[in-house]
Structure 1
Amino acid sequence: MCTSPVMTLPDRVSGTKILYVTDDWVSGADLMGLSLRLVKKNLVRNLQRADITLAVSPHLVNTLNREPGRQVEAGLLPNGCVLPAGTAQSSRGRTAALVGTLNERLDLALLEKLAESGTPLLVIGPRADKDPAFSARLDRFLAADTVRWLGKLPAASLPGYLATASVGLTPYVSSEFNRASFPLKTLDYLAAGLAVVATDLPAVRWLDSEDVAVAKDHTEFLNLVHLALRTPSDPATEARRRSFAGSHSWSARSSALLALVDARASKTASTRTAVSLAKE
């Protein structure tokens, strides 16, 4: 199974060869610090060799299916989430949470407006920014009075911090890379019982959850965040969010993948049987 832009599937081996494209590696080559030429070369080769090709988002599935020379049609296998082992004691405050890597994928102008509006922001995650101008702005944002930045934390500690927030944020700029992505944080927020406000991405639309509010512009995003902060949560609503996240867990994703592998194995066995009978 290949899940990396720098890996290649073996050519002449038995067994099912799976290509799982986890991001738009071509448009994101520079962001990941990789050679665009190498990424393109590996992707073409892997599409030619894969028995099963999967991608994390509908947008990325469509992109792959436009590639010439692929052996099979790409299918959808979105990212999943890990459900917390237990439910953290909730002490929801009027705080918005942002979890994940801080880099140029984020809509920093939107986050700056949130901070300037007086919205308390809890930010958890490491920095991976490269552009000097972006970095200077990110410095100022993280130093704002309304922002509490905790840096990178152990995954086991996240439920406790998210239990103090009322809404999770998925604020990405509209880029080709982001449109092809499937933000893990959206499901992680729901697994923690949080409402979510997200910028308009195909993967967010695909989730089609009543607990994920999708904003078309900055003004709507701020209004939706402020509405979520004013709306009291309750155990039934939080349980519904966790249940929805559970249907998109990594366990559910692995079951779907195994079903695909089994289906292909059965098809291959049937084909071999038919060929054998035809030769008799």
Structure 2
Amino acid sequence: MQQAENFRAESRALAAILEHLPEAEFHRETQFKGWTIDHVLGHLHLFNAAAEASLRGEDAFAAFIAPVLRDMQAGRSILECQFPWLDGLSGRALFAAWREGAERCADAFAAAEPKARLKWIGPDMSALSSVTARQMETWAHGQEVFDLLGHERQEQDRIRNIAHLGVATYGWSFRNRGLDVPEPAPFVQLTGPSGAVWEWNAPQDEDYVKGSAVEFAQVVTQVRSISDTGLEVSGTAAECWMQIAQCFAGPAENPPLKGTRYRAGQATPQAG
């Protein structure tokens, strides 16, 4: 599966900026809910391992995820749920474990049948969708690390996978908030890092989202406010969507406020 190699490449891109990071730097807070780099890596490591367990079958996944689900049902946050599994692993040792685990996860999915149905915390997914979700989460959580360290990620056309997830979860973004889904879905036209142009849904003159695929991915993964992008948004459905877009599972989350997520070293945007 090419998607497995895209996940591998995304993981390696994040690993490259952490390769020589001093131990103390792993405990710096990002702009995402006060999570540290350490917290980000722990989260990615746990759910990469969960995805790998899902490939081994329903029983293997159930056994792996049971302690996490118990903690969630006890009211612990998704961040707190990872600490028992990590068992004190942190800093450069966690970095090494996450990097090795990501490579192992990519290897496992590369050998998987793309259409195989896999158990997950939410609805079952195909293996292809599962590893694409791993790429999305690595890219999205990686953004707060890139931002904190002041690095500009060199984006590639594999971002199309994340943009596609964003388009595919149009309806979910509304239903997850108990809202009616506006129909038809807006036309989406995005330009990839290579200059390639990608389109989704029927062309419309009044209801559409156009612009950078990277900025679209930033909005649907909620790592940037729509107000901090140059996306061209027209029409009621498109405008409502871009205010609540969420391509990841779980309860409805609000996107960041304008000016609250940015790369260190840039002029700080005005929040509000």
Q: TM-score category by the smaller chain?
A: under 0.3
Q: What's the TM-score, normalizing by structure 2?
A: 0.25
Structure with the largest fraction of helix: 2
Rg bigger for which structure? 1
Structure with the largest fraction of strand: 1
